[in-house]
Amino acid sequence: MFCRRLCDLPNSSRRTFHHIKGHQDTQVALDKLSRPAKLNVQADKLARNYQRLSSHKNIPAPMIEGTHCHLIYNGQTIASKHRKHIRDHRRTKKLKTYIQQKTQMSEAAFADIDWQSHERSVHTFKDGPHIFLVKFLHGWLPVGKLVSRYDPIKYPSACPSCDEPSEDSKHYLACPNPERRKWHAALKTSLRHRCESADADPALLLWGLNHWLQGTPIPAHRIPERIAHLLHSQTTIGWYNFLLGRWSKHWTTLQLQYLQRYHIEVKNKNHGLSLSSNIDEVFHLIRTAPPDNLTPTMASRQRTPTQTTRPINTYFLPHRITPPTPTMETTTTTARTTSTSNNPTTIIPTDKQTLTNEQIRSFPCHITPSPPR
């Protein structure tokens, strides 16, 4: 506002700008700074608090004298990382169309998502491979409905934990099986702890999430007027998308009201609700779930020590030989054979030994090609 008023002054007025280095309070105590530096710190704080409000409209930055050009997109001035914003703009349209078709989301619901916080949470994600996170966010986890396309006989589409005839990603998270209900309880407990550590109100969050996991509608007569718009917005977006970190923008407004009501200082960790924590917790619980809570395809990815494969180095066939079961007997003259009463028989090639195709076929093992390097 101050800069805009400066730029509105008559051209005849002489304007002189002096650069004041920002964030000097991170290295020097505030009381030891000069007056211009203190004012700069205070201005940064006011601007940061104003920017955190989700209800204000973006006002284009003024063209200060000496600036040669501005990059403006959707009425908002882009002050840094211009190449990134241009690249994001080019690929956003196709990604937006894909997400809307995949989730059957309306244009209004898509625009109501806090995509900036969602992007930040995805970029700060550290719990596991990023490619698995992308599959999780876009519904490509190896659940029954998906893997049955490859082999319907070996991988039926039905849920292995209940009577649902087609298991998709939504059902996997909301399955009513008692064993998977334990996962729901762990998720709620973890989210409650995260909210308390971030000075966030967990009541409404857990209330809406619990109704979706239970498959029951949110009672309209019990919704206070001040949060009715928020619940309607998140319900339109979908509580399944809520678990994926696609939260309504109104959550930030509600959180700021909560902090102001209890006179809690607004900080980075309690600004809105920690969306990255939400994705981290859901994804971590899926990856660490016990085999009983996983689909057969997911459980097969978690190999036990006896299921690991041993690579055989050969100049002819880069294959992997899976150890046989304990009941099988292995005899060969070209490899050492070790067997104990508690461990399955394993075949260990001798050092610098090359195995021919006939010798490999003679092993009572399952041979599968190694993945290409």
- pLDDT of 355 reads 45
Tell me the residue ranges of DSSP E strands in the chain: 71-73, 76-78, 310-311, 319-322, 335-338, 346-349, 366-369
Q: Using one digit for the tens of pLDDT, what is the confidence trace for 83-111?
A: 888 888 888 888 899 999 999 999 999 99
What secondary structure does DSSP assign to 356-373, as a single string? -HHHHHHSSSEEEEPPP-
The answer to whether residue 213 is domain-embedded is: yes
Higher pLDDT, 357 or 56: 56
Task: Identify whether residues 139 and 10 lie together within a single domain.
Answer: no
pLDDT higher than 70, residue 326:
no
Q: What is the mean pLDDT of residues 231-237?
A: 89
In this prediction, residue 100 carries a pLDDT of 92
Q: Would you place residue 302 in the very low, low, confident or very high pLDDT band (cuts 50, 70, 90)?
A: very low
CA 126, CA 140: separation in Å to the nearest integer? 19
- Last residue within a domain, chosen from 299, 322, 350: 299
Q: Are strands 366-369 and 319-322 parallel, antiparallel or unpaired?
A: antiparallel
* Residue 285 pLDDT grade (very low, low, confident, very high; cuts 50, 70, 90): low
Check whether residue 69 and residue 123 sit in a common domain.
Answer: no
Note whether 186 and 261 are same-domain residues: yes
Position with higher pLDDT, 238 vs 182: 238
What is 249-312 written as a DSSP string? THHHHHHHHHHHHTTPPP-TTTSS--HHHHHHHHHHHHHT--GGGS-HHHHHHS--GGG--EE-
Read off the pLDDT of residues 121-175 as tens digits, 9 standing for 90 and up: 787 776 667 788 888 889 888 888 999 998 888 889 998 888 889 999 889 888 8
Given the structure tokens 């006011």, which residue do they identify? 46
pLDDT number for residue 58:
65
Domain membership flag for residue 147? yes
Which range (14-28, 110-124, 235-249, 277-291) has the least confidence? 277-291
Q: Which domain holds residue 18?
A: 2-78
42 within some domain: yes
Q: Are residues 176 and 42 in the same domain?
A: no
SS3 for 228?
Answer: helix
Q: Are residues 42 and 127 in the same domain?
A: no
Which of 299, 327, 357 is the endpoint of a domain? 299
Q: What is the pLDDT of residue 108?
A: 92
- Give percent of the chain above pLDDT 70: 62
How far apart (Å, rounded) are the C-alpha atoms in residues 20 and 36? 7
pLDDT given at position 281: 61
353-368 per-position pLDDT tens digit: 444 444 444 444 444 4
32 and 117 co-located in one domain: no
Helix (H, G, I), strand (E, B) or coil at 335: strand
Pair 345, 324: CB distance under 8 Å: yes
Contact 279, 125 (CB under 8 A): yes
Residue 122 domain flag? yes
Choose between 74 and 231: higher pLDDT. 231
Residue 339 inside a domain? The answer is no
Rounded distance between C-alpha atoms, residue 18 and residue 65, angstroms: 12
Give me the percent of the chain exceeding a pLDDT of 90: 8
Per-residue confidence (pLDDT) for residue 345, from 0 to 100: 38
* pLDDT top residue among 111 and 76: 111
138, 58: one domain:
no
Give the residue from 78, 93, 121 where a domain finishes: 78
Among 370, 335, 333, 330, smallest CA distance to 351 is for 335
Do 156 and 281 fall into the same domain? yes
pLDDT at 33 over 60: yes
Identify the burial level of 280 via C-beta atoms within 10 angstroms of its C-beta, where 0-12 means exposed, 13-18 middle and 19 or more buried: buried
Q: Is the pLDDT of residue 215 over 80?
A: yes
Residue 105: the pLDDT is 92
Q: Among 213-217, 294-298, 314-318, which is the least confidently predicted range? A: 314-318
Beta bridge partners of 248: 113
Q: How many domains does the chain have?
A: 2
Residue 265 amino acid letter: E
Q: What is the pLDDT of residue 101?
A: 92
Within 10 Å of residue 208's Cβ, how many Cβ atoms? 19
Residue with the bigger pLDDT between 264 and 100: it is 100
Q: Within a domain: residue 63?
A: yes
Mean per-residue pLDDT of the chain: 70
Q: What is the pTM of this model?
A: 0.61
Contacts of 313 (CB under 8 A, 6+ apart): 349
End-to-end CA distance of the chain: 58
Residue 324 has what pLDDT? 42
Which one has a higher pLDDT value, 5 or 41?
Answer: 41
pLDDT at 106: 92
Residue 256 has what pLDDT?
A: 77
Domain assignment present for residue 276? The answer is yes
Q: Which residues contact 252 (CB under 8 A, 6 or more apart)?
A: 52, 53, 54, 114, 117, 271, 272, 273
Tell me the average pLDDT across 41-68. Answer: 73
Highest mean pLDDT among 242-246, 278-282, 303-307: 242-246
Say if 373 falls within a structural domain. no
**271 in the same domain as 164:** yes
**49, 165: one domain:** no
Q: 130 and 262 share a domain?
A: yes
Same domain, 40 and 170: no
